[in-house]
Amino acid sequence: MNNAPIFTQENPTDAQLISILDHDYGDGVVYIPENTPWSLYTFARKLGYINEEGFVTPKGKILVTNYQKVS
């Protein structure tokens, strides 16, 4: 069962963005979790959290780190 948050393109939450940014398995490349809409990945790229090669950017790493601190 996938517990990924439901994505609404108009208003992705930090938790929704984290659901894909935190799936890099240490190599920095984002792997899309099963049942996660591709549109969330492309939206994260447009926001600058993932670069054109599919790696988490420094901006994305900061978001993940800050989210983990408050969670």
CB atoms within 10 A of CB 6: 8
Looking at residue 25, its amino acid is Y
- The confidence score (pLDDT) of residue 1 equals 44
- Stated as kind and residue range, the H or E segment containing 9 is none
Tell me: the pLDDT tens digits for 26-42? 788 999 988 888 999 99
This prediction has a pTM of 0.79
- Region 54-63 average pLDDT: 95
